[in-house]
Amino acid sequence: MIARYTRPEMGRIWSEENSFQKWLDVEILAAEGLAKLGKVPKAAIGRIRKKARFDLKRIRAIEAEVKHEIIAFLSSVAEFIGDDARYLHVGMTSSDVMDTALAIQFKEASAIIEDDITNLMKALRTQARRYKWTVQIGRTHGVHAEPTTFGLKLALWYQEMARNLSRFKKAVDDICVGQISGAVGTFAQISPKVEAYVCRKAGLKPALVSNQIIQRDRHAFYFATLAIIASSLEKFAVEVRHLQRTEVQEAEEPFSAGQKGSSAMPHKRNPILSENVCGLARLMRSYAMAAMENVPLWHERDISHSSVERVIAPDATIALDFMLRRMTYVLGNLCVYPENMKRNLEKSGGTVFSEKVLLALVGKGIARDVAYRMVQRHALKVGKEGGDLKRELLEDGEIRRSLSPKEIEAIWGVKHHLTNVDFIFRRAFQ
């Protein structure tokens, strides 16, 4: 991922230096496991731990000749360790090292992402409570529907992120597995006890069955979960973008001192942060698709998945970390304009109360379809020509035969629509 979207904490996890360090950690843990079984002298482990290191330039120089990254890595490490290097990689295959190390990196990256999700949820909870009673018009198909509150919108998003957090924890649990099972996964040259030792020390679970790799359905589930989270963030961002439109102007992104919205037009305040999140969400979904393509490998393994994961593993986690933090900032500092929400709600001339009129007529014994058409006739006229629905109803003799002026007057107002807001909040934030 380009530096523009990479935070140092996440970038460090996927650095070349850290990746090789994780390989070295796995190799040393495996040697320790063998020592506990009496297969490696215990004194050698101390010497290995003291001397073990690698040289990035040397690895690449060796790889240019041998065309095998693990061999190049082990050769570089051996140059530092000396004779004791023969106790590394005993009975192991390349994927034992690479897949187990990759799982450790996923675990580290996932800890950051989980914190990000939790922080976004905190911001949503705070803002939902702040705007719990801030009335705005609800929209379906982009068209005015009935009154709701901005707090309910944010409570909805909070619950969506709660589901995302639950999914994410399951995906992390699924991907944080290791293997030290040797060629084609049969433990022919190494004891399962070594695998158990390595995984325990690394904070992983052993894969119950492997062939020569950790199976990529686990990775597909993980990346799909990241893509779902990104899609939720895009959903929030799209709403901010809509609400920031000049014709709506109910909420907008924070605009910092000194910020400029356009190179040509000084008046512009554009929703660039949310638009950026929308763009990155497209990438995230493509990464999920690539991870799914990695599932069907040949026989006990091929390495067609490797080149894909070298790109998507760092890119997806780095991008989602960036997106989560960005939306936490946007939503936590959102500029909200209740007066504009009130103004927009009143634009429809009271047609947003049409359902309540309909139900009042039905309650008087009028057939629903008949009542619907009675109300619709006036609502469409107001929508097209302007005016006020209440006045139209009061002037309709047919409707007045069923509803008195007092009953029509009682229909107006948003209080009825807020009756169960407390109930919904209790469920959302229990």
Residue 296 has pLDDT above 90, yes or no: yes
Strand, helix or coil for residue 23: helix
For residues 211-242, one letter each, b for 16 or more C-beta atoms within 10 angstroms of the residue's C-beta and e for the rest, the string is bbbbbbebbbbbbbbbbbbbebbbebbbbbbb
d(CA 296, CA 170): 22
Say which residues have a Cβ less than 8 Å from residue 277's Cβ, sequence separation at least 6. Answer: 233, 234, 237, 323, 326, 327
400 — pLDDT class (breaks 50, 70, 90): very high
User: H/E element holding 135?
Assistant: strand 135-140
Each residue's pLDDT tens digit, 155-174:
999 999 999 999 999 999 99
What pLDDT score does 313 carry? 97
259 — pLDDT class (breaks 50, 70, 90): confident
The two three-digit tokens of residue 184, written as one number: 């084609």
d(CA 408, CA 360): 9
Strand, helix or coil for residue 165: helix
What pLDDT score does 292 carry? 97
Strand, helix or coil for residue 385: helix
Pick the catalytic residue: 141, 263, 267, 299?
Answer: 141
Residue 392 has pLDDT above 90, yes or no: yes
Task: List the helix and strand counts (H, then E) for the chain.
Answer: 18, 6
What pLDDT score does 202 carry? 97
Name all domains of the chain by residue range, CATH numbers in brackets.
92-342 (1.20.200.10), 351-411 (1.10.40.30)
Residue 412 has pLDDT above 90, yes or no: yes
Of 8, 223, 202, 10, the C-alpha closest to 99 is 202
Residue 317 has pLDDT above 90, yes or no: yes
- Please write down the HEC assignment for all residues of 36-60: HCCCCCHHHHHHHHHHCCCCHHHHH
What pLDDT score does 262 carry? 80
The two three-digit tokens of residue 407, written as one number: 């009953």
**Strand 143-149 vs strand 135-140: parallel, antiparallel, or unpaired?**
antiparallel
141 is catalytic: yes
Question: Which of 67-71, 265-269, 334-338, 425-429 is the least confident region?
Answer: 265-269
Region 319-333: mean pLDDT is 98
Each residue's pLDDT tens digit, 124-155:
999 999 999 999 999 999 999 999 999 999 99
Whole-number average pLDDT of the chain: 96
- Alpha helices by DSSP H, listed for 37-149, are 42-51, 56-66, 69-81, 94-130
> Which residue spans within 171-296 are E strands per DSSP?
177-178, 205-206, 251-252
Torsion sign across C-alpha atoms 114, 116, 119, 125: negative
What pLDDT score does 405 carry? 94
Torsion sign across C-alpha atoms 322, 323, 326, 329: negative
The two three-digit tokens of residue 243, written as one number: 């609400």
181 is catalytic: no
Pick the catalytic residue: 15, 166, 262, 304?
Answer: 262
Of 129, 319, 120, the C-alpha closest to 236 is 120
What pLDDT score does 1 carry? 79
What pLDDT score does 426 carry? 97
What pLDDT score does 384 carry? 93
Each residue's pLDDT tens digit, 50-95:
999 999 999 999 999 999 999 999 999 999 999 999 999 999 999 9
Torsion of CA 364, 368, 374, 378, to 10 degrees: 110
What pTM was computed for the model? 0.94
What pLDDT score does 304 carry? 93
What pLDDT score does 42 carry? 95
Cα angle 289-9-28, degrees, rounded to a multiple of 5: 85
Of 382, 347, 147, 346, the C-alpha closest to 395 is 382
266 — pLDDT class (breaks 50, 70, 90): confident
d(CA 205, CA 184): 19
Query: Hey, which residues does 94 pair with through a beta bridge?
Result: none
Residue 330 has pLDDT above 90, yes or no: yes
Dmax over Cα atoms in the chain, in whole Å? 103
